[in-house]
Homo-oligomer: A and B are copies of this chain.
């Protein structure tokens, strides 16, 4: 009827472990000490101590509490199956939404979904609210959520937005001084690219991770909370779609590596226009890849 007592149970079990380490008759530490040790509030510590007393694991009151006996495995409390955290939910939900055949315009049902994903309806509400930030879902006037879905329109607009952000980053990056740490990072990335290229026949699959790292590095030179925010959803979406369109994956990835290398070269030339051109070329390819994988996915249905 109210919130779960997961914190209490975890704290209690931790306290049991502490008792196991202690010798019989050893005084129990102060509530404040325990609170900071178990990383919970004193309120929980007090509930834990009470329960320990009830279970005859400690005895005494006030400052005179001592460890009475070693706890057995039976003493451990079984917590309710922990619900998914909002982060865990995020990946599962996006997986569902990006993979499944959910037509745009579908009205989502919070109660049903919360069962399906085994989270509190409240958590799902909050989550949908957060997703609405990226216009993947929208709130309907009198309750309910509508799934805008991952349409071609969405992909185009997301790609364009991404391109705008990254062109800005690239332009900025190309003007950074020689001793800026970014150049060392780019060099390391370049090496990784050459490395992957050497073993592309076997490991072309690894490109997805490298790609994410590459774009993240380039965008890291712009310190802006709004840019950062979007980077998250962008990399998520691109990451997922990478895994879809399996056709020509090896060829596509090899081509992308070459584009990345040219991109790095262009950045290093410090020629803003050249850097911009290289960035634009790669971002256009990327957009096309995303659209292709959308189409490929549509055919699978």
Contact = CB atoms under 8 A, between A and B. Distances in A.
A96 interface: no
A88 interface: no
Contacts of A157: 223-226
A65 to B, nearest CB: 28
Residue from A223, A225, A229 with most neighbouring chain B CB atoms (10 Å):
A225
Interface string A93-116: 000000000000000000000000
A164 B168 contact: yes
A157 to B, nearest CB: 5
A125 interface: yes
A229 B230 CA distance: 12
A223 to B, nearest CB: 8
Interface residues of A, number: 23
A224 B160 contact: yes
Nearest to A126: B129
Given A129-B129, A132-B130, A135-B229, A224 B161 contact: yes
A92 interface: no
Nearest to A156: B224
Contacts of A168: 164
A22 interface: no
Interface string A212-229: 000000000001111101
A260 to B, nearest CB: 23
A89 B255 CA distance: 51
24 contacts: A125-B126, A126-B129, A129-B129, A129-B130, A130-B132, A130-B133, A133-B133, A133-B229, A134-B226, A135-B225, A135-B226, A135-B229, A154-B225, A157-B223, A157-B224, A157-B226, A158-B226, A160-B224, A161-B224, A161-B226, A161-B227, A164-B165, A164-B168, A226-B230
Interface of A: 125-126, 129-130, 132-135, 154, 157-158, 160-161, 164-165, 168, 223-227, 229-230
Closest CB pairs A-B (n = 3): A133-B133, A129-B129, A161-B226
